[in-house]
Amino acid sequence: MTQLILASTSPFRLKMLRDAGLSVEAVASGVDERAIEETLYDTGVTAEEVAGILAEAKATMVSEQHPDALVIGADQTLSLDGRIFHKPTDMEAARRHLLSLSGRTHELNSAVVLARGGATIWRETAVARLTMRTLDPGFIGRHLSRVGDKALQSVGAYQIEGEGIQLFEAVDGDLFTIMGLPLLPLLAALRNEGALDG
C-alpha cells in the first residue's frame, strides 16, 4: 500500500484524516509561509490562490524528501475585503480578529495538494462563506476567556466544531472545508491514485 504523509503538524488535519480511516503520518514541511506570502504581495493573487500556493509548497517539499510516498499538503486562508488573516499571535490579536469579522461575511479558502517525487499530481481548493453575527465586545471577551488558547489555533480565532459555532448566523460550505481540508475531493483523488480501497 502507498505510504501517505501529511506535510503538516496540524493536529486537526491529522485527526480528520485518521478519523476517515487513513493510515497517515505527519511530517513538518519546514515551509516559511510568511516568506512565501511576502513574495506574492502586489502580484494580484487572490487569497484562494495563496492557499493553493502554500499547500503546494508544503506537499512538494516533503515529497522531495520522501519520493515514494504520496504527500498531502494543505493550507487555509481567511479573507475579508481583500485582507488575508493569519492565526492570531495572542488573545488581543484574537479579539481584534473577531471584532473585524463581527457582522460580516468572510471566506475560508481551503486548498489541498497531492505530490509524489517532488511534483504536484492533483490539487483542489474549496471555499466556504461564513457570516458572523454582530458581536458585542463584552461577549467577545467572555467568549475568548472561555475558549482560551484554542482561539490561537485557527486563522479566524474560532473553531466552528466547538463553541465557535455560537459566533455565526449563517454558513455556506461544508464542515471539512471550514476545518481546513476539503476531505471528500481528497478521498476521491486518493482512490483514483490507488491509495485507498474503493
CA distances from 116 to 8, 21, 74, 94, 112 (A): 16, 21, 15, 37, 14
Sign of the dihedral defined by the CA atoms of residues 138, 143, 148, 154, in that order: negative
> Of 77, 83, 119, 121, whose CA–CA distance to 100 is shortest?
83
For the chain, strand residue ranges (E) read 4-6, 24-26, 70-80, 83-85, 105-116, 119-132, 168-172
Which of these is catalytic: 75, 90, 136, 172? 75
Torsion 46-49-53-59 (CA) sign:
positive
Q: Has 19 been annotated as catalytic? A: no
Bridge partners (DSSP) of residue 111 are 75, 125
CA-CA distance, 198 to 192, in Å (whole number)? 9
Active site residues: 75
